[in-house]
Amino acid sequence: MKKDNRVRKIREEKMMSKAELARKAGVSVQTIDRIEKGMSCRLDTKRKILLALGYSLEEKGRVFAGNA
């Protein structure tokens, strides 16, 4: 099932490459690519991406709307 998220939009607004976000989050570039395409991921992965993008866990709805 595809999931709605704003990871790509936020990453691009922050002028980050997929590789940079992946490095900051401690995940693979392939993981970032899959998430940006709407694939699901583990809660821990979402947490890492939120923090790497500069968001708190309480702001998860801004990045992973309705499915965090």
Q: What is the CATH number of domain 7-61?
A: 1.10.260.40
Is residue 21 a contact partner of residue 49, using CB atoms and an 8 Å limit?
yes
Query: Where do runs of H (alpha helix) occur along 1-68?
Result: 7-13, 18-25, 29-36, 43-52, 60-63
pLDDT for the residue numbered 66: 61
pLDDT in tens, 5-63: 999 999 999 999 999 999 999 999 999 999 999 999 999 999 999 999 999 999 999 99
Burial of residue 62, with CB atoms counted within 10 A of its CB: 0-12 exposed, 13-18 middle, 19 or more buried: middle
Domain boundaries, the chain: 7-61
Which residue has better confidence, 1 or 54?
54
Q: What is the pTM of this model?
A: 0.88
DSSP code of residue 57:
G
